[in-house]
Amino acid sequence: MIDVTAETEKKPLIRQRADPYMYFHTDGYYYFTASVPEYDRIELRRSWTITGLADAEPVVVWRKHADGPMSWHIWAPEIHFIDGKWFIYFAAGQAQDPWYIRTWVLECDSPDPFADGWREKGQLVPEWDSFQLDTTVFEHAGKLYAVWAQKRKERKENSVLYIAHMPNPYTIEYPQVMLSYPEYGWECSGFSVNEGPAVIERNGRVFVTYSASATDAAYCMGLLYADSSADLLNPSSWKKLPEPVFVTNAGRGIFGPGHNSFTTDRTGNIDILVYHARPYADVDLDFALYDPNRHTWVKRFTWNSDGFPVFDA
């Protein structure tokens, strides 16, 4: 059965769901979570097909606190299955200071993540305390790594990207290593931002896509890569492409694409880009995060003769 088609790619898959994360599990289900417009809860949905997620019933597995940590701006959840347990990583502020954004972890022992078994595991604590969000995790060569966006000690940019080894799914091992900072013009439009990392390994390389600039039509995706055999905690192992790899396409009605994740079709032979974008260009930067119309889209992508992903046809 062909799930994602040219027709599927022409319109949003799920409306008003930003920062989408999709995961194809060994039980045969596609799992999906994303930021909801109210920024007040974490939802999961699942389906046997990618397109079926559009009509799948969302189930709330966690709600924000009334006060204190995890009480405001519940952002960018990701669901992962690690060593037989489910984990959700998400960013959250607090009512007294909505921009005191940090990363938190939920854990579920049940084989069924829709069971009422989620518990708060605590904060994913980085090497220093500052604005932190968009954590993703991945396994490589038998080790678990985290990649996330954070304001660095010097507070120069809004956010840069870091990587670190994880001795377990809820702990960052120090030192953390900077992967990328906003340095090109396309990374600094409106705000100087590197955020929303996603990892895919193909063709002897580890690739990290990320999003850059403010969340208007300038928002776009960049690409980092390292050899699979390299030390991923050595900054010199990583290279950055000088141009973005996925940008606004006004002709297709896709504006500010970014904050992606990756999945595949059921055969594993077709790679799928999952991302959010708006259907229009005009947005007030002061209120962009509260414009609910960042929709989830999906798109097949291929690889060029040099082994690099090709997102924008």
Q: How far is 50 from 29, CA to CA, in rounded Å?
A: 9
Annotation marks residue 19 as catalytic: yes
- pTM, entire model: 0.97
Catalytic residue among 3, 19, 134, 187: 19
**Sheet containing strand 85-94, strands side by side:** 69-82, 85-94, 97-108, 118-123
CA distances from 146 to 67, 133, 173 (A): 28, 12, 10
Please name the amino acid found at residue 154: E
Q: How far is 253 from 249, CA to CA, in rounded Å?
A: 6
| Structure tokens, 187 | 């990374």
| Structure tokens, 174 | 């120090």
Beta bridge partners of 81: 86
Annotation marks residue 3 as catalytic: no
Burial of residue 265 (number of CB atoms within 10 Å: 0-12, 13-18, 19+): middle
Catalytic residue among 134, 157, 195, 216: 195
**Per-position pLDDT tens, the chain of length 313:** 679 999 999 999 999 999 999 999 999 999 999 999 999 999 999 999 999 999 999 999 999 999 999 999 999 999 999 999 999 999 999 999 999 999 999 999 999 999 888 999 999 999 999 999 999 999 999 999 999 999 998 878 999 999 999 999 999 999 999 999 999 999 999 999 999 999 999 999 999 999 999 999 999 999 999 999 999 999 999 999 999 999 999 999 999 999 999 999 999 999 999 999 999 999 998 899 999 999 999 999 999 999 999 998 5
**b/e burial code for range 27-66 (CB count within 10 A of at least 16 → b):** eebbbbbbbbeebeebbbbbbeebbebbebebeebbebee
